[in-house]
Structures are given as C-alpha cells and as structure tokens.
Amino acid sequence: MQDIIEGFLKFQREVFPARSALFKRLATSQNPGVLFVTCSDSRVVPELLTQREPGDMFVIRNAGNIVPSYGPEPGGVSATVEYAVAVLGVTDIVICGHSDCGAMTAISTCMCLDHLPAVAAWLRHADAARAINAAREFPTPHARLNSLVRENVIAQLANIRTHPSVAVALAQGRLNLHGWVYDIEKGAIDALDGSTHPHRFVSLAEHPEACAVNTQGVQAD
C-alpha cells in the first residue's frame, strides 16, 4: 500500500503540475468517445493498451468483461452502459477479453464455485459462450480456454445489444461495436471481424479496420 501512496505523491508533485491544463479542462466536463468494457484483471490496463489520456474512455471493469442482458432490474453495468450511450454519446463500444482469464478458466475447467456463490451467479451471464464451447472438441485445455475467451466476447456483444440505449443507437447508425481479445504475453490484440462469414478474429495490427458491428459505414452484422 505504501507504494501506491508514494505513487500518488509523485503524481501530485510531478505529473499533475505538468498536465494542469488537461486536468483543469476535465474538472468540469468529459467527452469520451469510447465505452471500453474489460476484465478486472490487474494485468489488463485499458489506457495503457490504447495509449489514451484521462477523459478519452469511459471504462467498465468486472470479472470476465461481462455485460448482462438488459432486464427488469438493471444493475451497475446496465446503468453505466446507458449513461455512456444515452448521455455521453459514445460512438464506439469495445468489449475486450484477454488471455489467461481467471473467470473463463473457471468455466472452461468446470471449477467448483460453491464457495464463491456471487462469482458463480455472475458467470451465468456467460452461459451462451459456455454452451457453444462445450459442443466443440479441443486438442488441449489451453485451446479450449482460448476459444472460450473469444466466444465470451461474442456472447457479451450479443448481450449488450439487448440494452435499449444501445439498440436505439445502432438503429440510428451512430454506434459501432468492437470485440477484442488481448494477448498478455505477446502484447497483441485480435479483433472480431463482422464482415467475414462466419465471423472470425483477426489481428488488429494487420486489420485495423476490423469491426464487429459497423453502423457508420458498411453494416458488418
């Protein structure tokens, strides 16, 4: 904890004065263009991966980068999605999974979660990905996990489309959806390319135009 406190003191002493104009502007407003949904995993830092500044992205982090389908009792994720789309007017939403995901590992290995009832209930929002992955055969447990991570991104993209604010924005052609998978060891990102049939993940470095659902250009759905 002391390292964290010392880090803040360094920020206050060295970083903040050098960026005072930025923070003065951000003190009264924000205008993020992207809602970035990713895992709580400490190894995944959205602003580092994308080299973004404070104020550039609205971020949701939770176990398994999950977006529950919209329901009669929406929770914090639903409220954040709604605010980002309907109030802030983000033009893009990224759902980003990652390699070696603990949440997906628990599903992939059928780990007993009786001692973690809240986690078990939360991971039910990935049941579609679980079912699709379970219907396939894989040569190794690692391959099974990698596939599940990708299927979960696809499942959460489907879930987020059930949110009224997202559905309206998509229908009006003012929102794009992106599905990414970040490889921690390689520092690489694969992106879901909605223009392919069937949809497949491609290297974002080689295909920077890849988009899961593109309503502002050619529909990729």
Residues forming the active site: 39, 41, 43, 98, 101
- Do the beta carbons of residue 154 and residue 104 sit within 8 Å? no
Distance CA 178, CA 96 (A): 8
Helix axes 141-160, 127-134, angle to 10 degrees: 140
For 86-220, where are the alpha helices, taking DSSP H only? 102-108, 117-122, 127-134, 141-160, 164-171
Residue 84 one-letter amino acid: A
Residue 194 one-letter amino acid: G
Residue 178 φ/ψ, nearest 5 degrees: -130, 140
Distance CA 111, CA 123 (A): 12
